[in-house]
Structure 1
Amino acid sequence: MDAAEDLETLGEKLYTLIYPKHKETAGKLTGMLLELPGPVLSQMLQDKTTLTAAVEKALRALQLAQEPGRVTCKDEDDVSVSSDSLGEQLFELVDVYNTGHSQKITGMLLEQHKDAVLKLLSDPKLLEEQVNFALNTLKEQNMEETDFSDTSDADDSERLGEKIFSLVEELRPLHANDITGMLLEMEPAALHQLLTDPTMLEAAVHKAQAALDSQNRTLSS
């Protein structure tokens, strides 16, 4: 309940600040800004420049959403709704959320079919859901990239080992275990490259087999 009450209090304070300049749209603008993270809202209340910038972004987003002719007029000239135009309009809307990843999130959303992007431009609720989903995806990716714990490293190595082994087994079934062990001493980036480049994999396997043969000859002599 405290969080809800805090949000309500923030909303009232924001509305009071927004209303003098934007009487007709103060309610909608306040609602849009309340979707932003708490710390950002607190900053807006303390810093008029931040608030003004956020209100201007929200206003532009509101205007774009209320101009379906610019976005959804497919019958007149579908070509006129270019990818660049869609991208610019979508960026304006995404940027309202102050995620710090507006460019990346816009790029992710633009990977969808044009009809789906057009729907995002005219449906604020759907856009909000997709922005949050994209933001969570980015956070997960960042966590994966920065998570250097032993367990994640062990899991990654195990998965890599399994993939490499299955490929090596096709080329050198008799020494697949030994060769895979030798290849796994390489850098992870190089191993990933082996998985996508059969020629490079074959060369690495051949080199490992030669080293193995040489080692065996030394032991038997």
Structure 2
Amino acid sequence: MNEEEDIETLGEKLYSLIYPKHRDDAGKLTGMLLELPGPVLTQMLKDEITLTAAVQKALRALQLEQEPSKVTSKDEDDVSASSDSLGEQLFELVDVYNTGHSQKITGMLLEQHKEAVLKLLSDPKLLEEHVNSALKTLTEQNVEETDISDSSEADDTERLGEKLFSLVEKLDPLHANDITGMLLEMDPAALKQLLSDHTMLAVAVQKAQAALNLQN
């Protein structure tokens, strides 16, 4: 069975489940739900609660599409309230995709103009594209942050270690390796302070020497 046949079969099954309760909008609702990922659709066919929740979300999106003036023609207080409502509705639709980042993705999508957000609520295909795009951005950011933090932390520690060793060696050449290793367990900010304040460094070295004597 190819992909088109799969979608057609899913569509027929979904339609037959939706039609009894929503005869007037069964076609539209089925079309909207068919834009969701395959695993989500399969889950809906197995689980009536998941299907009902998704249908309710699709219905709300339809209502927004049919009555946009109700959101845009209110006074300022109502508009801020409607912004909260838009956020809630958008979160519910985004959450269907089970990305694990529903809150962040909703926040990213809400940064757009209200008209654009309304369009997302009424156009499942467009919403899916934006969700995928936001998810890709989040993934790339996480990878970059991990790469940068890992490499920079390693580089920083190495540089600090070299500078620290050269200073400790002058104070205690015999135990410079051991003392430097002990000092490197400190917080990077504290280490930088030691490098800039030789009195503090001398005190830290003395403490490390005392600890080494106890170990020996």
* TM-score normalised by the chain length of structure 1: 0.61
More displaced stretch, 46-55 vs 201-210 = 201-210
Distance between the aligned counterparts of 1:186 and 1:7, measured in 2?
58
Distance between the aligned counterparts of 2:202 and 2:143, measured in 1?
40
Deviations 1:88-140 (A, max 9, x none): 23224434445454333222323x15x2x431222424333222222334455
The structure that has the greater radius of gyration is 2
Which residues in structure 2 correspond to 1:104-115 (within 5 Å)?
104-110=104-110, 112-113=111-112, 115=113
Q: Percent identical across equivalent pairs?
A: 58
**How far does residue 14 in structure 1 lie from its aligned partner after superposition?**
0.9
Is 1:118 the equivalent of 2:118? no
DSSP 3-state at the match of 1:81: helix
**How far does residue 71 in structure 1 lie from its aligned partner after superposition?**
3.0
The answer as to whether partners of 1:35 and 1:97 remain within 8 angstroms in 2 is no
DSSP 3-state at the match of 1:35: coil
The answer as to whether partners of 1:91 and 1:102 remain within 8 angstroms in 2 is yes
Query: Which amino acid is the alignment partner of residue 109 of structure 2?
Result: L
Ranges in structure 1 where 5+ consecutive residues have no aligned partner: 146-151, 176-180, 195-199, 216-221
CA shift in 2, pair 1:201/1:59, >3 Å = farther
* TM-score normalised by the chain length of structure 2: 0.62
Distance between the aligned counterparts of 2:27 and 2:194, measured in 1?
65
Deviations 1:10-42 (A, max 9, x none): 112111221222222222211221232322212
Residue equivalent to 1:42 = 42
Ranges in structure 2 where 5+ consecutive residues have no aligned partner: 168-179, 209-216
The answer as to whether partners of 2:15 and 2:26 remain within 8 angstroms in 1 is yes
Count matched residues.
192
* Greater length-normalized contact order (CA 8 Å, ≥ 6 residues apart): 2
**How far does residue 141 in structure 1 lie from its aligned partner after superposition?**
6.2
Residue equivalent to 1:160 = 153
More displaced stretch, 36-45 vs 131-140 = 131-140
Give the root-mean-square deviation of aligned CA atoms. 4.5
